[in-house]
Structure 1
Amino acid sequence: MTKKLLKSASRCIAALALTGAAGPTWAVESVKIAGFTWPGYGFWHIAAEKGLAPDLDIQYQTIEDPYESFNLVAAGQLDVVSSTAEFTPVGVERGLPVKLVAFGNLSYGTDKIVAGPGIETAADLAGKEVAVLEGGLAQIYVAMWLEQNGAAYDSVTYRNIIADDAFAAMIGGGVAASEFWEPYGTNTLKALEGASVLAQSKDPYWLQSGVIADGHYMSDALINDRRDVALLTMKAMYDAIAWWKQNPDEGNRIIAGGMSMSLADVELVIGKNGTGLDGGLYVYDFMEAAQFCGSAPGNPPFDQKNGQINDHWNLVSGWWVKFNLIEAAAPPETGIDCSLHKELYDSGYRG
């Protein structure tokens, strides 16, 4: 044993000598992540700035078009995409090598259907134009709300206008209503006299169903070929969320800087106290996301059920068939991979 220890020590000394006076170095794995400008994805900036993943070089880039991000995954130029959670059935039908690995956060009032003057009911919208992100959650949200309120989902004309452009279209009378996320909804209500909220995502039905949410996607190559890196990446995100919950003031400033947003807009979306209940977006911690994925015991919040991610898949798939975005619904396992959550949970990690 003594001889073995001496040999091991001599090898370490030789290795140190090769590294020079700076001491030993370790290989750092690069992880390329993209998402659009949204505070709910800002935890990647916290993970990088606070050094929560020393074995990773987290490179976050802002790409406003999620379809561009997913195409870059297919081209091998991105590893992770943070985006809304409805894309996976479309990606599966198009053969993209990507999986939804986690629910990230749930809309807790930040999403609203705002109507212009004189529009009070779903029936009032019949034959009129509504601004949405076509092929996105906004379109499903409006369609479901119409049906719940006695109108056909196709009784309106959907116009693919979002954010600032939708705000301008509402103010100018170009559309009768729009689905907005913050701060655009609040700004529209302030600027357009007679505007009103027809629906908002904090209502219990929308919370329980989990329809309006963000997710995190990983490439098949990251999950399968660099699994240790995939696990470290997921852990870094949840460590950043846990850090933010304890340090919301500093965390919000980091997110505002990383996203080039005002601190006020960040606080409007994710709140000021780290609970996720004082803003417009509820952030899932590790255990809640693992429960939603069915990879840990217990139920997620808002009367959701264990493993509800599969129900979410089936719900959005059905709507994409209605909107002719996909031909048929595929099984959830073709686009969802909860094994990373399970592996972290089984290792003892709890976020």
Structure 2
Amino acid sequence: MKTRQNWSLCITAAVTAGLMAFGLIGSAVAAERVQISGLTWPGYGFWDIAIAKKLAPDLDISYQQIEDPYESFNLMTADKMDVVSSTAEFAPVGVERGMPIKFVAFANLSYGTDKIVGGPDIKVAKDLSGKEVAVLEGGLAQIFVAMWLEQNGVPYDSVKYRNIIADDAFAALVGGGVAASEFWEPYGSNVLKALPGSSVLAQSREPYWLKRAVVADGLYMSDNFLTKRRDTARKTLKAMYDAIAWWKKNPAEGNQIIADSMKMSLDDVELVLGKDGSGVDGGLYVYDFMEAARFCGVVPGDPPFGQKNGQVVDHWNLISDWWVKFGLIKEVKAPETGVECDLHRELYESGYRG
């Protein structure tokens, strides 16, 4: 018996020494770091939920709030950022500039959170001819305004676009410096309260915009992340969809997590995301895994709002056409130069459904 005890102690000591040598005892196995950035925006708060609820325990996810998207993409180009949550129009510009990035997911769709607001003297599109409109040039706001003008028979270049960010655009419209502006929430609602006679000229919940999926957010990954760390890229995408699925079941707690992490009021988060997890009681419709995979065209079925399977191709071409008109890019390139949908296919083929 004594010999057995000694032998057992020897084995235990040997195994323990081996595990310690590999760092498996005394400290947890190091999780793989994933660096993610994006705006201070509730639509990107699902990363905060993934972190708070430990939905990807083998990943060390870090979400950094960076208000200038170009800074995020420059960091990605320098291989100092793996993932960027941003608006869905940048990929053609990134390709034009030789940035090693790919658009990998259609993340959410503006469902009323974006509005074109006119001053007291502006009631219809033609009232803006020859006047100044505040937009973020090179962003979705500019395309939204341009498409709306042409939809209403007014040439997109009949107005002067002033490159002003949202809070400054608020002051410019209230102060009479511009005739109209494109706003996202809470700026749109606030300017309507602050400026008597102002009105909503167009808003993204209208079927025309929902079907075309114009005003939306997307998810970008670096080429290095997609090629050299493919398994981690897949796990990262899954973590986002797991967080979305968790939020749909726990919207109150999820919204509070986002509010705390983003240092926003709960009211502002609920204004954007809604309160019941349905995606249609707020200003932003969040795509789950299957909806995003259908938009990419890698699983059967159609996305919501009358969109079609594989619409990511049409979206790429639509955005690229406008950037050619505005002189931001020289030509419309093939979608595969900037779009990577195979992560969704791989997750689906593994049995994942979100």
Query: TM-score, normalised to structure 2's length?
Result: 0.94
Q: Which position in structure 2 is the counterpart of 1:157?
A: 160
- Alignment match of 1:45 (pick from 27, 43, 48): 48
Cα distance between partner residues in 2 of 1:314 and 1:338: 16
From 83, 108, 112, the equivalent of 2:111 is 108
Q: Secondary structure of the equivalent of 2:244? A: helix
Q: Are 2:64 and 1:61 aligned?
A: yes
The percent identity for this pair of structures is: 71
Secondary structure in structure 1 of the residue aligned to 2:115: strand
Over 3 Å counting, the alpha-carbon distance change for 1:314 and 1:13 in structure 2 is same
Evaluate the alpha carbon distance shift between residue 350 and residue 12 of structure 1 in structure 2; reply closer, same or farther with a 3 A threshold.
farther
Matched, 1:219 2:222: yes
| Number of the residue aligned with 1:312 | 315
- The match for 1:87 is 90
C-alpha deviations, 1:33-72, integer Å up to 9, x for none? 0001110000000000110000111111011010111000
Q: Decide which of 222, 236, 242 is 2:239's aligned counterpart.
A: 236
Please give the alpha-carbon distance, in whole angstroms, between the structure 2 residues aligned to 1:14 and 1:231. Answer: 34
Aligned match of 1:303: 306
The secondary structure found in structure 1 opposite 2:157 is: coil
SS of corresponding position for 2:158: coil
- Distance between the aligned counterparts of 2:183 and 2:111, measured in 1? 13
What residue identity is the alignment partner of 1:16? L
**Matched residue, 1:132:** 135
Candidates 182, 190, 195, aligned match of 2:193: 190
Cα gap change, 1:22 to 1:186, in 2 (>3 Å): same
After TM superposition, the structure 1 stretch with the greater mean CA deviation from structure 2, 9-18 or 87-96, is 9-18
Deviations 1:269-291 (A, max 9, x none): 00000011000000000000000
- Give unmatched runs, 5+ long, in structure 2: 1-10
Residue equivalent to 1:166: 169
**Which residue does 1:122 correspond to in 2?**
125
Q: Give a deviation string over 1:313-337, Cα, whole Å, max 9, x none.
A: 0000000000000000100000000
**Which of 200, 203, 208 does residue 200 from structure 1 map onto?**
203
1:245 aligns with 2:279: no
Instruction: Answer yes or no: is 1:331 the counterpart of 2:334.
Output: yes
Residue 54 of structure 1 aligns to a residue in which SS?
Answer: coil
Name the CA distance, whole Å, in 2 between partners of 1:34 and 1:313. Answer: 22
Give the conservation status (yes or no) of the 8 Å contact 1:16–1:23: no
Shift, 1:16, TM fit: 3.2
The counterpart of 1:74, out of the listed 62, 73, 77, is 77
Task: Indicate if the aligned counterparts of 1:16 and 1:24 stay in contact, CA closer than 8 A.
Answer: no
Tell me if structure 1 keeps the 8 A contact 2:23–2:29.
Answer: no
- The CA RMSD over aligned residues, in Å, is 1.6
CA distance in 2, matches of 1:23, 1:118: 70
CA contact (8 A) 2:49 2:254 kept: yes
Aligned match of 1:289: 292
How much has 1:118 moved relative to structure 2? 1.3
| CA-CA distance at 1:156 after TM superposition | 0.3
> Conserved in 1, the CA contact under 8 Å of 2:313 and 2:335?
yes
TM-score by length of 1: 0.95
Runs of 4 or more consecutive aligned structure 1 residues displaced over 6 Å after TM superposition:
8-11
CA positional deviation for 1:121 = 1.0
